[in-house]
């Protein structure tokens, strides 16, 4: 997920590879333009609008983006000393995190004006919500569940595949009662049961990455957004030229 990092541990912590977890293959429905300068950390589709947060110190923004052509409608800069990470909506707000500073920001969704900040222990990676709680990843096999009003941590859930912990959970999206999570430095999305933490299936994104020229080690899949009204699932990556609408089929 982060710039200038590579050669990290294997996907599963202390376990064999997850052959027994079903694999679904992503099929491209449509490709939309995407800003190749956007180091995508968070993605969100809401009320016909696409919101994106980007990373890298001095290049981190909260944006409203037009889906059809990738044009940035408006954007707000995260203070340049911070590395922007995931975002989530709650009411009229957008809530964001930064990577290693334990500091998040609150934004007015209509104007993208920064209206507040909040703090949390450890790192911030991805965010989503289930209508009752905010869900946050921190690069470990655990998901944090937060009170959306106070942003205080309520509980944690350990994510496993075949009984082994799954590391490097990144950008998140709540889809039809499941948590979808990019797994950093892989072509996979984990479909997670939020009641048990068990990975129900992997979504194989290799058909997407085959369409994207990779300029560097960090240009990996990251960014999941769901259009609940239209039942459309979108996926992109860091510095990718495309944002893809996909469907999945069992291999």
16 within some domain: yes
Paired strand residues for 213: none
6 within some domain: no
- This prediction's pTM: 0.89
91 within some domain: yes
Q: Residue 182: which CATH number? A: 2.120.10.30
C-alpha gyration radius of the chain: 16
How many domains are there within the chain? Answer: 1
123 within some domain: yes
2 within some domain: no
**HEC per residue, 136-159:** EECCCCEEEEECCCCCCEEEEEEC
Separation of alpha carbons 170 and 90, rounded Å: 20
Which tokens is 95 given?
């809530």
1 within some domain: no
Which tokens is 158 given?
């350990």
The closest alpha carbon to 104, from 76, 73, 79, belongs to 79
How confident is the model at residue 10, as a pLDDT?
43
How confident is the model at residue 111, as a pLDDT?
95
Residue-by-residue pLDDT tens, the chain, 251 positions:
455 444 344 444 544 454 589 999 999 999 999 999 999 999 999 999 999 999 999 999 999 999 999 999 999 999 999 999 999 999 999 999 999 999 999 999 999 999 999 999 999 999 999 999 999 999 999 999 999 999 999 999 999 998 899 999 999 999 999 999 999 999 999 999 999 999 999 999 999 999 998 777 788 999 999 999 999 999 999 999 999 999 998 87
Range of the domain at 239: 12-250
How confident is the model at residue 9, as a pLDDT?
43
How confident is the model at residue 217, as a pLDDT?
79
How confident is the model at residue 250, as a pLDDT?
82
Which residues, including other chains, have CB under 8 Å from residue 187's CB and lie 6 or more apart?
204, 205, 206, 208, 209, 220, 221
4 within some domain: no
5 within some domain: no
How confident is the model at residue 6, as a pLDDT?
40
Report residue 87: phi and psi, to 5°. -135, 160
């Amino acid at each position: 997920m982060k710039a200038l990092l590579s050669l990290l541990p294997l996907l599963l912590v202390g376990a064999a590879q997850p052959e027994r977890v079903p694999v679904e293959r992503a099929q491209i429905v449509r490709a939309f333009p995407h800003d190749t300068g956007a180091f995508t950390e968070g993605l969100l589709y809401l009320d016909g609008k696409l919101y994106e947060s980007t990373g890298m110190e001095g290049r981190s923004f909260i944006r409203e983006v037009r889906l059809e052509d990738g044009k940035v409608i408006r954007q707000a800069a995260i203070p340049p000393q911070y590395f922007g990470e995931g975002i989530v909506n709650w009411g009229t707000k957008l809530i964001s995190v930064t990577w290693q500073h334990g500091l998040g920001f609150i934004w007015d969704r209509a104007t993208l004006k920064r209206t507040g900040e909040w703090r949390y222990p450890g790192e911030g990676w991805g965010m989503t919500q289930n209508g009752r709680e905010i869900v946050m990843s921190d690069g470990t096999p655990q998901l944090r569940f937060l009170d959306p009003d106070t942003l205080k941590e309520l509980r944690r859930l350990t994510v496993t595949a075949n009984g082994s912990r799954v590391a490097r959970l990144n950008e998140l999206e709540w889809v039809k009662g499941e948590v979808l999570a990019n797994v950093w430095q892989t072509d996979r999305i984990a479909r997670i049961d939020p009641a048990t933490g068990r990975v129900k299936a992997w979504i194989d994104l290799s058909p997407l990455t085959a369409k994207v020229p990779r300029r560097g080690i960090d240009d990996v899949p990251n960014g999941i957004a769901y259009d609940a009204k239209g039942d459309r699932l979108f996926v992109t990556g860091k510095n990718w030229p495309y944002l893809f609408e996909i469907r999945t089929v069992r291999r």
